[in-house]
A and B are shown apart, each in its own frame.
Chain A
Amino acid sequence: MTEDTMSLFEETALNAKNKRVQGLYRTLFMLMTLLLITPVVIILATLVVKGSAVLSIDFLFTDPTDGMTAGGIFPALLGTVWLVTVALLVSVPLGVAAAIYLSEYAPDNWFTRLINLAIINLAGVPSIVHALFGVGAFVIFFGFGTSILAASLTLAIMTLPVVIVATRESLQAVPQAFREACWNMGATRWQTIRKVVLPNSISGILTGVILEVSRTTGETAPVMFTGAAFFLPFLPQSVFDQTMAMSLHLFVVSTQVPHVPEALPYGVALVLIGMVLIMNSISIAFRMYLRGKKKW
């Protein structure tokens, strides 16, 4: 090897400078990322520290007392379970059907683009506008009154895009060759979807559903006027009753009720955020596990 080729790979002054500049930029962007994440982590840590003071099994499973300044959050917790369950019963079948249509049937034309645009816009409509729609359509027009049914339908429509997008993605991840093999055996489209496409994408759909549960749990504005009440002395018996809800309960105890002990709303916030983050973590972990397991 001659000296010329040796020097070709040696670091010149320019190389060294470039390296320094690049290191500088790398550090700068890393700092920006950390600055974005750190405050939120500190805030969450504060919530955990202050909230854990009131957290106990009793807190979760007893009724609020003394004008909501003491006691637990059981009716709100149960109400959220009601709202989420009824919303899922509507949005999952509808969302999965929409995703099957978009992934397996829809031709690539203007109408399909219109559907996609509608989905994007449905996700972008402000939550309070969804609330107005819920009041106008379900509470007044269809006569459900302020009830779990009206609130859950509003939530279902609002979170429909979450199910559609997640399901469509996992359906499209099934290789086309799987479908073609099945068609060649003489199966109809639906037989192919039921026996080949859905079994191969069911876990992806499930992660989408978990995400939707998490979204639905945290939404406040859409249920405020459609079915969630500030305080109820009884538990809901059917979908036509009103209910309390975790998200609204946090709003109420932190803004509407006088003389609430400081720690109480922290406890409510901690439970709410705990529910949401745990569900999202499950969904993410599930997705990673699936990605590792995938055979094709």
Chain B
Amino acid sequence: MSEQNPSSVEIMDAFDRRDLAWFIDKLVQVLVFIGGISAIVFIIGIFIFITMEGFGFLLDTLDFREFFMSPWWEPTDEDEPSFGILALIAGTASVTGLAMLVAIPFSLGAAIYIGEFATGKKRESLKVLVELLAAIPSVVWGFIGLSIMNPLIIELFDVPVGLNVLNAGVILGLMAAPIMTSIAEDALKAVPDRYREAAEAMGATRWQVIFKVVLSAAKNGLLGAVLLGVGRGFGETMAVLMATGHAINIPGSVFDSVRALTATIAAELGETAVGSDHYQALFTIGIFLFVITFVINLTADLIVRGIRNK
């Protein structure tokens, strides 16, 4: 070892750049990592805190059979309060179901038109319009249900009350459709152009290309769009609170008033004493909603990503 050949330690030292910039770099790395994991922390935090508030009820009072099977939601009954959410589930499900009947055909149709037929300026302006429609706040939709749809339904169908499954279902459908349209359009856009070109080279017409090639290639993404719409319907609060009529009821027709799970929490939480059975029961409904939407979103994500990985 001569002096012209520095030892490996000296080489390391020469390359060691642990100056201020290096430390700042490390510090930032830690800070942005904290930001990165915040979403996980919040999701877990949400679950922990709503479970904590509903825990006593979950352990002691809650009768799972009664909770899911009984249509009687009478939490304030002095002698024998009952906590059955079956009618509330029926309310949420009927409104969401009708909303999907409205939203699925129209949003898929709109997505096909915007993605496959419309071109240039027309396409751009339709996309902007859809994006703007998706931004209308839910409380405004609720107000529309209350003040515009309500008299309209009473007049059109000659029924005494216009706040019902039909009203909330249509409102929710119009609300969910723009979001479903943009997700569905993304799914159509994700189908490579070479699929279309190959089909057209075989002599297929435009609509044959769309129906036989594009739709089947994009079906997972479209299913994801529908699932996200369902999740949105389940979780929507203000619009269903204002447009359903808020009557506990297992609906027999679209003209019956119902009450949704979300709306029950929104309407009753303010009137309950912190820690009471009623208060904890509302948090238990919250846990139920959290779990359901979690599963729906997870499934939608898995389905949509499934196609991307392929």
Contact = CB atoms under 8 A, between A and B. Distances in A.
Interface of A: 18-19, 21-22, 25-26, 28-30, 32-33, 35-37, 39-40, 43, 46-47, 93-102, 104-106, 114-115, 117-122, 124-133, 135-137, 140-141, 157, 160-161, 164, 188-191, 193, 214-215, 217-221, 224-225, 247-248, 250-251, 254-255, 262, 265-266, 269, 272-273, 276-277, 280-281, 284
A190 B262 CA distance: 44
A160 B40 CA distance: 12
Contacts, number: 264
A215 B135 CA distance: 7
18 contacts: A30-B118, A37-B129, A96-B35, A102-B36, A106-B36, A115-B40, A118-B40, A121-B293, A124-B297, A126-B262, A128-B266, A133-B45, A136-B52, A190-B25, A190-B28, A190-B29, A220-B237, A281-B132
A99 B35 CA distance: 8
B237 A280 contact: no
Interface stretch (B1-9, B57-65, B73-81, B143-151): B143-151
B22 A125 contact: no
Contacts of B42: 118, 122, 157, 160
Interface in B4-32: 21-22, 24-25, 28-29, 31-32
Given A21-B205, A29-B112, A46-B148, A251 B139 contact: yes
Classify the secondary structure of B's interface with A. helix
Given A128-B286, A191-B21, A217-B137, A251 B29 contact: no
B159 interface: no
A120 B140 contact: no
Given A98-B32, A130-B46, A218-B138, A43 B148 contact: yes
B235 interface: yes
Nearest to A127: B237
Given A36-B181, A105-B29, A221-B138, 20 more contacts: A22-B207, A26-B113, A33-B109, A37-B126, A46-B148, A97-B34, A97-B38, A98-B38, A98-B39, A114-B40, A125-B290, A126-B235, A128-B289, A140-B274, A160-B38, A224-B266, A251-B142, A254-B242, A276-B137, A277-B136
B66 to A, nearest CB: 22
Contacts of B298: 117, 121
A250 B140 contact: yes
Contacts of B210: 25
Contacts of A98: 32, 35-36, 38-39
Contacts of B35: 93-101
A160 B294 CA distance: 17
Nearest to B105: A32
Contacts of A160: 38-39, 42
B138 A30 contact: no
Contact of A269 (B106, B140, B274): B140
Contacts of B136: 40, 218, 273, 276-277
Max chain B CB contacts within 10 Å: which of A29, A30, A220? A29
Nearest to B304: A120
A170 B112 CA distance: 27
Contacts of A32: 105-106, 109-110, 113
B129 to A, nearest CB: 6
A175 B265 CA distance: 47
Q: Which 5 A-B pairs have the closest CB atoms?
A: A97-B35, A218-B137, A126-B235, A32-B109, A101-B36
Contacts of A40: 133, 136, 174
Contacts of B24: 188, 190
Nearest to B170: A39
Given A132-B53, A157-B42, A255 B126 contact: no
A225 B138 CA distance: 17
A33 B43 contact: no
A140 B24 CA distance: 37
Interface residues of B, number: 86
Given A30-B113, A124-B235, A247 B139 contact: yes
B38 A191 contact: no
B171 to A, nearest CB: 10
Contact of B207 (A25, A33, A225): A25
Contacts of B174: 36, 39-40
B186 interface: no
A221 B238 contact: yes
A231 to B, nearest CB: 14
A102 B138 CA distance: 31
B209 to A, nearest CB: 10
Contact of A120 (B33, B131, B237, B297): B297
Contact of B126 (A33, A215, A265): A33
Contacts of A224: 266, 269-270
Contacts of A94: 35, 38
Contacts of A219: 137
Nearest to A114: B40
Contacts of A46: 148
A126 B301 contact: no
B83 interface: no
A171 to B, nearest CB: 11
Most buried by B among A25, A115, A254, A265: A25
B139 A133 contact: no
A106 B40 CA distance: 14
Contacts of A129: 46, 50, 235, 286, 289-290, 293
